[in-house]
Structure 1
Amino acid sequence: MPHIGAGNAKLAAVIAEAGMSHAEVARAFVRVAQEMNAMEFSGVGRSHVSHWVAGSKPSGRAPGLLCEALSRKLGRVVTLDEIGLPAPPLSSRDMLGWRVDTLAALTELGRVDVDAERRRVLSTAAYSLAALTLPGGRWWEQMAARGQARGAAGGKMVGRGDVDAVRDMASLFSRVDQRRGGGHARLAVVQYLTSDVASFLCGRYADDALRRDMFTAASELSYLAGWMAFDNGEHNVAQHYFNVSVKLAAEAENPAMAGHVLRAMAHQAIDLGHHKHSLNLASASMDTQRYKAAAPRERALLGVVYARALAVNGETQQAARALLHAEDDLAAASDGDDEPGRVFFFGEASLAHETACALRDTGDLAGAAKQFRRSVKTRKASSFTRTHAVTLGYMGAIQARQGEIEEACATWSRALDAMDGVRSGRTRQVAAEMRSLLAPYKRRSIRAVQDVDTRAKNYLSSFA
């Protein structure tokens, strides 16, 4: 090893920890570059590594490839900071690239998200429509091969108990989200995902089935981080976690998990008004392989969001058929199904809520009101408080549009009761819509109007 002087002592220390010569680092680097189609780096050799240790700076994608090569050898995530290389300027477009390494993207995203200033930059960046264009079939095959290669890397041994622990944490945080909204505990999810779980992803496994299970569990946790950000109105942040979740599902060779995330991305696109993109994503979630691999309950979830995407695109008859199909799928679900824990929330109440949204978007307000009432009646509000509040809010909006303002106020009052302790961008949006729809009535001295408007104003001010 050359005398490094004022060179990169951090990189030298990590290479020494890995017990690798510069030639071995170069060979590991090239293997990673070939896997990631970074063929411009296929000629990297021992002398390049020696120059980097001496203080020269690798360029382009090379720093990330170097981190990945060292991570595989050490069995943990090696960051740019750890090897003495500056992180590149935050670029949402770069981080969302489908060719960006999964674990590199996850690590960088976690570093950004737990830093208040960098998170502010990320959360205010634009939601990317370009990133909604999904890669082709060859990409999925390459990701599966990449996942298999990770399982052969060094690192600590990962067992079945570790997988179960990640699933338990995902279940715990999911239930908090359902009750309290995405504004509670999301950073705790991120910290667990990017520390403990990321180290598992760099580990060794007794067999590939166990590795796939861990990557699926990690995908579920990344999806949850994205869903919580989406619920809290942090749409660009959500998009990044959904992107990582899809990559993890692809490396896990789990088409049902990939469909689950694509469904969430479609839901987000619907809410943001990107209707054509929402239909493309929902259609991808219903791809034959993904749909067939899903349990009946998850098929119903995929199908009802697909119906919503059809509805906002004016495909009324197709949306109606998709809704009926989703009802049939949910009816086919039973307690004996080997269904994943991620669909625990989806039942009759959720199906009715999404059906109501689809009917509302096709202009069938009476049908929408009926389905919202069904959702409210069948939901266990104490466990699914956030969505219960949103459903009541949407139902009140339908009643207001039908001219039933006092009935709307009674419904909205119940919604505001449920919002107590909920931190959610969707509940904030509901409260803002209440005030907008009540504005024409505020001069009529209707006591219920004044009370609901004041309560909605107070709820919104608590987030200012």
Structure 2
Amino acid sequence: MGKQPNQKLIDWITRSGLSRGEVARRVHRRSLDHGIRHINPDTTGVRRWCQGERPRNPLPRIIADIFSAHFGYRVTTYDLGFTESPDLDRPLTYSASFGETVEAVTELGRADMDRRTFLAAVPFAATAGVGPSRDWLLNTLDQQPEPGPRVRLEDVTSVRNMFASFQDMDVMQGGGSGRLILTAYMNEHVYPLLRRAFADDVRRALCAATAEQTYLLGWMAYDDGQHGTAQRYLIQALRLAEESQDAALGAHVLAGMADQATLLGNPQEGRRLAQAGRQGLSRSDSPACLADLWTLEARALAAAGDGKAASHAVTEAERAFARVQPEREAEWAKFIDGAYLHGEFANVFRDLSRPTQSAEHARRSIDFARAQGRARRGAMSQAALAVSHIQQGDLEAAHSAGVRAITLSARVKSSRSVEAVQDVQRRMVPFGSHPLVADFNERTRVLLAA
């Protein structure tokens, strides 16, 4: 069978308005910029690519570069029809090169927009956080400003102003609610800025703003149950945070990575990531972030069965939170409040089978969440309260709290809140065919169907 025409490449050339001869000349010039002198295609060569001939490396990436430069946003080799799928291992790499980081995160963003079903199937790599956390920590503890190339601060301010809106969307409606909108915004408005020139102070501010939004993309994917996607965003957010020289922001990203590792059954890795974040935070001052890191270390310790160390970590988290002055904390730290912390403490003591303490913190979290209208946090804390009742043998109280968890979960798009309901369902199994168990199972079935 003959080659099939590369319709993707044909479409990009048509959209660009460039002739095939101009494409060939630009490929040659870009090759020379990379020190490659033997690449000098002509119009016939471009025609053969359009007819389906796949150019040899490094030509696909060079061709992608010239279209990226022409359109002002990242065009990948996959977009041009040169590869069967995006390179989804690349965003797992914590590159020393800022340019490679820009390419990795923009390629991930495009894949998230165009190949979401494909991307949802990528696995979580259990040990992928080891290198990034180590490199971030070493570079943070020995970080010197570097001269940068010559975006405006107004552009960065615009990005930062959008962050609060997207974070509120996640907190109030769940990660599955706004991720598609945020992905489109990042691909169209934010990641292209990283490819432009900027002064050194703008470079740091832009990288910080982009790291915040990239972290939020990862967190939304995490809350939506897309763990492989989330991990890739978080690793690239950590690298961008390093580039911004904002130690607190990097520690915040590590907190997210720690939370994910523990949730996915690797509490030792979760604890190590939280500890790395605390150590890096020694160069900055964010009591809210410190409280979060101690909390996530407590979650990891509880999951590993170390009750004494977990209780100590909870105490340290409370001590750090007592120092929080909200007006002095970054926008990304706004969610670290009473609803969040007491909800996580409830989970710590749930995992340690200390139902009285778990119920106390769950109720405090529920009160805070109700006052703020936070359905996702309310659902998860109601589920923790239901489990504490199960651990005490009170099925009726567990059923009541579990039903409230179901009601709140139906109001948000969050896999985590649904999983919390399913956890309650599994723990009810020992009560057999009790009518309350049957009722809860039916309510859960309706939630899952919706």
TM-score (norm 1): 0.81
Pick one of 240, 243, 252 that aligns with 2:235.
243
Question: Using the alignment, how far apart are the partners of 2:38 and 2:144 within structure 1?
Answer: 27
* Percentage of pairs with the same residue: 26
Task: Indicate whether 1:46 and 2:37 are aligned.
Answer: yes
Letter in 1 for 2:171: Q
Pick closer, same or farther for the CA change 1:148–1:195 going to 2, 3 Å: farther
Partner of 2:299: 308
Task: Give yes or no for contact 2:136–2:238 (8 Å, CA) kept in 1.
Answer: no
Partner of 2:116: 119
Task: Indicate whether 1:199 and 2:192 are aligned.
Answer: yes
Partner of 1:41: none
Q: Which one is further off, 386-395 or 365-374?
A: 365-374
Report Cα offsets for 1:82-130 as digits up to 9, x if no partner: 9956136444333312238212112221222122xx3222212221123
Question: Using the alignment, how far apart are the partners of 1:138 and 1:391 within structure 2?
Answer: 33
Question: Using the alignment, how far apart are the partners of 2:136 and 2:387 within structure 1?
Answer: 46
Pick one of 20, 25, 29 that aligns with 2:30.
25
Task: Indicate whether 1:161 and 2:154 are aligned.
Answer: yes
Partner of 1:96: 92
Pick closer, same or farther for the CA change 1:66–1:145 going to 2, 3 Å: farther
Pick closer, same or farther for the CA change 1:300–1:75 going to 2, 3 Å: farther
- In the TM superposition, 1:441-456 aligns within 5 A as 441=431, 443-446=433-436, 449-456=437-444
- In the TM superposition, 1:65-80 aligns within 5 A as 67=64, 76-80=72-76
Question: Using the alignment, how far apart are the partners of 2:317 and 2:136 within structure 1?
Answer: 30
Task: Give yes or no for contact 1:392–1:414 (8 Å, CA) kept in 2.
Answer: yes
Matched residues, number? 427
Letter in 2 for 1:96: L
Pick one of 66, 83, 91 that aligns with 1:87.
83
Question: Using the alignment, how far apart are the partners of 1:104 and 1:15 within structure 2?
Answer: 25
- In the TM superposition, 1:141-180 aligns within 5 A as 141=139, 151-152=148-149, 158-180=151-173
Pick closer, same or farther for the CA change 1:252–1:414 going to 2, 3 Å: same
Pick closer, same or farther for the CA change 1:335–1:430 going to 2, 3 Å: closer
Query: Deviation of residue 277 (structure 1)?
Result: 1.6
Question: Using the alignment, how far apart are the partners of 2:72 and 2:296 within structure 1?
Answer: 37
Task: Give yes or no for contact 1:145–1:251 (8 Å, CA) kept in 2.
Answer: no
Letter in 1 for 2:447: Y
- In the TM superposition, 1:223-262 aligns within 5 A as 223-262=215-254
Question: Using the alignment, how far apart are the partners of 2:19 and 2:129 within structure 1?
Answer: 37
Partner of 2:400: 410
Query: Deviation of residue 335 (structure 1)?
Result: 3.9
Question: Using the alignment, how far apart are the partners of 2:136 and 2:423 within structure 1?
Answer: 45
Question: Using the alignment, how far apart are the partners of 2:408 and 2:215 within structure 1?
Answer: 25
Pick closer, same or farther for the CA change 1:360–1:437 going to 2, 3 Å: closer
Task: Give yes or no for contact 2:298–2:313 (8 Å, CA) kept in 1.
Answer: yes
Task: Indicate whether 1:367 and 2:357 are aligned.
Answer: yes
Query: Deviation of residue 212 (structure 1)?
Result: 1.1
Pick closer, same or farther for the CA change 1:341–1:123 going to 2, 3 Å: same
Task: Indicate whether 1:461 and 2:430 are aligned.
Answer: no
Pick closer, same or farther for the CA change 1:52–1:432 going to 2, 3 Å: farther
Question: Using the alignment, how far apart are the partners of 2:44 and 2:242 within structure 1?
Answer: 34
Pick closer, same or farther for the CA change 1:240–1:414 going to 2, 3 Å: same
Question: Using the alignment, how far apart are the partners of 1:92 and 1:332 within structure 2?
Answer: 41
Partner of 1:131: 128
TM-score (norm 2): 0.83
Query: Deviation of residue 251 (structure 1)?
Result: 1.9
Q: SS of the residue aligned with 1:131?
A: coil
Question: Using the alignment, how far apart are the partners of 1:366 and 1:14 within structure 2?
Answer: 73
Report Cα offsets for 1:169-218 as digits up to 9, x if no partner: 2211111111111111211111111120012222233x322221111111
Pick closer, same or farther for the CA change 1:352–1:345 going to 2, 3 Å: same
Q: SS of the residue aligned with 1:130?
A: coil
Pick closer, same or farther for the CA change 1:309–1:452 going to 2, 3 Å: same
Question: Using the alignment, how far apart are the partners of 1:359 and 1:90 within structure 2?
Answer: 42
Partner of 2:207: 215
Task: Indicate whether 1:182 and 2:172 are aligned.
Answer: no
Q: Which one is further off, 101-110 or 404-413?
A: 101-110
Partner of 2:50: none
- Give ranges in structure 2 of 5+ residues lacking alignment: 1-5, 47-53
